Structure 1
């Protein structure tokens, strides 16, 4: 789950391992980016993006470059062409995605495939309680987040040219299979709750009623808000996007209301009224009204699925980190999160009848 620095403008000098021929890039941009005029200055965004991300400054404009990491990669990993494709298509449908200036699949230019998009100035909120925002604006920020996701799920993906962006049916079956395999491949110890979830989830999945573009990692800190207004002006980080069940996407964000504060800043046990943050019921009702639903009766299944998926992702990060450095403190902390996540997912599964 990649992340751009909390200010989105926090940069550093380009790491030696991620440097490239800036002259070759400037020449490519001169040929391929309308309005580009050098000289070009390149810096690297701080943070641990899986796809290295750079800020490109010129006297008149700033851009963002996202590239595949150098080195040997899995064939389907770090698919910057998919990111470029979905943001370009959605932007053309009026969705708040950064403007795409160009995609380069020629590895000869900077060593890997890359794309160039607009640099969007605005606010990224890292704390879901929004302490930096006046109380009377907080509900409006959450409502904008809700409306933006409903807008995404309402886009006609065929008309947007995304009819082949993923398989249209059996989303949960495919996702549960994918994350089960990834978990098994990265498994470092037996976790009985994960074993039970892998067995129970496939036969408990609700029937998929709708298909839409799903973001796959939709949460507040993957959005850029207008500098002064409670309005989403760009949604970032589309690496996990595909065609799927919109309720999986919505309930992924909704997990924040049922997770404890120590797990990704969850709201469990927090007096939301005191912080002027909408309740889960209010958030669900707003989404259902916008998407013409009577309600979401299978919430316990969706939470079990989403927390299981998160546990699988965390286990994969932990296993990869261990391979690189068995004493890595951050990896050890990640490893400790898998069992509590699995236990949390299984408790929701039991609520759903497991």
Structure 2
């Protein structure tokens, strides 16, 4: 089973950390992290960078923003650290945070360190040697949905998170904010997405009054699975965009990653998880289960699904612009302009068929 654990690798060129500076900071602020330090890097993630710290045989995870990014709201290490701290004892899938550093002189950026949960992460395809028969695939989908529903039904006040966001007006702020981000990040070789952005503003639902703690990037490769039972979730990662907001927006953003077997070929080509396999629930089935588990009616799913895909296009475009401008050397990002084209086309297809 250990071969299926998400393994850290040699740190990518240009993304190294200063081990001596880290140890000096740990001596003053986190004695648990003092010892012989080895640093490696996890391969996943197109946004924040994630490193494995081995300290005298113990394992921890360090998170920092990407090099060259100036979109601070999308890489808020302090927010992620504070969310994890407040969720301790309220949401059993949140890793334990250890220390948060705001002094950018230490490694060149703000960062935080948390415990490492040893678990399996499924990315685009199943790990080599892993079998997921249809009944287990279905159970994995149900578990993924149920954990998100559990988060959405946490008592905000009991978790001490009432000051963590402003649910009122959340949908409008998100739509206008992501529209603005796309316009600022656009390059000449991608669609201008103006018709899509106009549709999102025109069809925007009235303020629903719904409020919940939302993850804002909840997807299959942001959860850790039990290596001995890959249908069971043991951890949820990447909390830097968590806030208070409309839970259906969060669900719609999760479903934007959900590429199923009968989706158009271009969308299947850029899928980020094996959600097309036999037994995996369809988006329609996921919507039905979400309604059952939360008691929230989602009759206007098309809107939230389109918003979710557009938001992915914006994130891809922000990363692509950094690549075009030479602010990142990661060759994975060279194709992100094509992702924007495909996602824009997928949004247009949903809009053409929508009854909204």
The alignment's TM-score, normalised by the length of structure 1, stands at 0.84
Deviation at 1:152, TM superposition (A): 0.9
1:215-230 map, 5 Å: 215-229=215-229, 230=231
Which residue matches 1:19?
Answer: 17
Q: Among residues 263, 281, 285, which one is paired with 1:282 in the alignment?
A: 285
> Over residues 136-173 of structure 1, what are the superposed CA-to-partner deviations in whole Å (9 max), with x where a residue is unaligned?
42222111111110011111223222222222122221
Return closer, same or farther for 1:174/1:62 CA change in 2, 3 Å cut-off.
same
Aligned pair count reads 343
1:1-354 map, 5 Å: 7-13=5-11, 15=13, 18-20=16-18, 22-33=19-30, 35-36=32-33, 38-47=35-44, 50-68=47-65, 73-74=70-71, 76=73, 78-127=75-124, 132-135=130-133, 136-189=135-188, 194-207=193-206, 208-229=208-229, 230-255=231-256, 256-257=258-259, 259=263, 260-265=267-272, 275-293=278-296, 295-324=297-326, 333-353=335-355
Q: Indicate the larger mover: 108-117 or 221-230.
A: 108-117
Query: What are structure 1's unaligned runs of at least 5 residues?
Result: 1-5
Q: Secondary structure at the match of 1:132?
A: coil
Distance (Å, rounded) in 2 between the aligned partners of 1:324 and 1:237: 25
> Over residues 102-146 of structure 1, what are the superposed CA-to-partner deviations in whole Å (9 max), with x where a residue is unaligned?
222234544433211011111111146788233142222111111
Distance (Å, rounded) in 2 between the aligned partners of 1:297 and 1:204: 14
Return closer, same or farther for 1:69/1:246 CA change in 2, 3 Å cut-off.
same
Return closer, same or farther for 1:209/1:9 CA change in 2, 3 Å cut-off.
same
Distance (Å, rounded) in 2 between the aligned partners of 1:66 and 1:331: 20
RMSD (CA atoms)? 3.2
> Over residues 212-253 of structure 1, what are the superposed CA-to-partner deviations in whole Å (9 max), with x where a residue is unaligned?
122111110111111212221111112332222111111222
Distance (Å, rounded) in 2 between the aligned partners of 1:77 and 1:266: 22
Q: Indicate the larger mover: 116-125 or 76-85.
A: 76-85
Distance (Å, rounded) in 2 between the aligned partners of 1:221 and 1:247: 20
> Over residues 20-41 of structure 1, what are the superposed CA-to-partner deviations in whole Å (9 max), with x where a residue is unaligned?
1x34433543554465552332
Higher relative contact order by CA 8 Å / sep ≥ 6: 1 or 2? 2
> Over residues 305-330 of structure 1, what are the superposed CA-to-partner deviations in whole Å (9 max), with x where a residue is unaligned?
11222222222222222222999975
Distance (Å, rounded) in 1 between the aligned partners of 2:69 and 2:312: 26
> Over residues 62-89 of structure 1, what are the superposed CA-to-partner deviations in whole Å (9 max), with x where a residue is unaligned?
1111234567845545211111111222
Extract structure 1 runs of 4+ deviating beyond 6 A.
128-131, 190-193, 325-329
Whether the 8 Å contact between 2:186 and 2:321 is mirrored in structure 1 is yes
Q: Indicate the larger mover: 278-287 or 305-314.
A: 278-287
Q: Indicate the larger mover: 102-111 or 143-152.
A: 102-111
The alignment's TM-score, normalised by the length of structure 2, stands at 0.83
Deviation at 1:283, TM superposition (A): 2.2
